[in-house]
Chain A
Amino acid sequence: MSAAAHAEAHEHHGPPAPHYSSRIKPETLGMYLFIASEIMLFGSFFTAYFFVRIVNGTPWPTPPYHLPVFVATINTFILMTSSATMHWATVSIKRGNVWGMRAGLLLTFLMGLAFLTSQLFEYMRAGFNTSNGAFPTIFFCLTGLHGCHVFVGLSILAFMTIRAFRGHFSAEHHHGVEIGGIYWHFVDVMWIVVFTTVYIL
């Protein structure tokens, strides 16, 4: 064996690098599969919503209840802005701007928290609950399901933010920020659909 081959053999430790037949990284593929299952879950809730509202012909919102559209609109703006700050964080770390990423992640987390807190207050002041019929049940199920996703997104964001402040990400290695960002945008896309169908139309 030549000296170069010897050196190469000594540099390599452990098993050989795994061969991936897919062009997608396993972590990203995992997130895609998770999101695909989430879309199916939301799909089942939307099916119930459309059944109650269109097939069953239930008035929406059922009188005498009213939906807090104004608060939800403010919440929508908060969530959309949080997507922008999430994008800012990703762009920043891609350019090597660590403090930009940290600020972006922190702002995203705070806005997500504001959204969730505001939604909890909205629930407490709604004036109806799940025992009041199909309309409130579907309303709480759909918005609650989305709220759960925001909570999961916040948990991911919390980990990302802590890691960011510990110096875990760099311009070359920021996969954790990228995947978390994809999930956060997915949560926001789902909110647009929920907001449009439940509150506006």
Chain B
Amino acid sequence: MRNPLRSEEVAFRFLGVVIVGAAVIIGAAFINTWLGVAVAIAAFGALARWLMKEPVPGAADQSPVLSSGTPPGTHRVLVVAPPGTGASAVRVPDGSEALVVVPAVAATVESLTGAVDDRRSEAEQTAEALQSHLPDARVEVGADDPALAVEDALRVFGADEVLVIGDDELVQAIRARVAIPVSGA
């Protein structure tokens, strides 16, 4: 969508469009009131069409795929464990540094309305249980979207691979967003 106030220059041009539009409506209204109404409706329609014509800048761009790096001699693993995951389901490869992320998975309506407190509380309980089971690993609660939680985690924790405890759909969703090996655990 076009932003008629994107800059001073664009706003000035928009003012010109409004002046011309108003002049046309006034001219039509002086000829006949209903003609003025018709022209006003047409002018507003044309304005709306013009505003909608330009796509949102960057909307069609591919979102960047995150890559990650680790210091030499270390092997780092990012584990995605949805809420409710049992401690026995999380297996960290021997000799690896691990960050376990528990995304506070929420329904679409809950995400949109921000009513994610309960989901976050569940994720925190899972994280506490996992932390007691994996004292050498770091366990954190992540965003309500698992893929987003992985992206957030990779920004602060360079990992060699991502292990996902979940179904294939979840693995595929995360694989599409990162450029390091992602596998189901």
> Which A positions have Cβ atoms within 8 angstroms of B?
23, 31-32, 35, 80, 83-84, 86-87, 90-91, 177-178, 181-182, 185-186, 188-189, 192-193, 195-196, 200-201
Contacts and interface: CB of A to CB of B under 8 A. Distances in A.
Contacts of B176: none
Main secondary structure, interface of A, reads helix
B15 A188 contact: yes
Contacts of A177: 8
B5 A186 contact: yes
A32 B11 CA distance: 12
26 contacts: A23-B58, A80-B15, A80-B19, A83-B15, A84-B12, A90-B8, A91-B9, A177-B8, A181-B11, A181-B12, A182-B7, A185-B5, A185-B8, A185-B12, A185-B14, A185-B15, A189-B14, A189-B15, A192-B15, A192-B19, A192-B22, A193-B22, A195-B22, A196-B26, A200-B26, A201-B36
Nearest to B25: A196
B90 interface: no
Contact of A83 (B7, B12, B25): B12
Contact of B8 (A32, A178, A196, A201): A178
Given A84-B12, A185-B11, 14 more contacts: A83-B12, A86-B8, A86-B12, A87-B8, A90-B8, A90-B9, A91-B9, A182-B7, A185-B8, A185-B14, A186-B5, A193-B18, A195-B22, A200-B26
B71 interface: no
B114 interface: no
A201 B11 contact: no
Interface string B56-84: 01100000000000000000000000000
A90 B10 CA distance: 12
Contacts of B15: 80, 83, 185, 188-189, 192
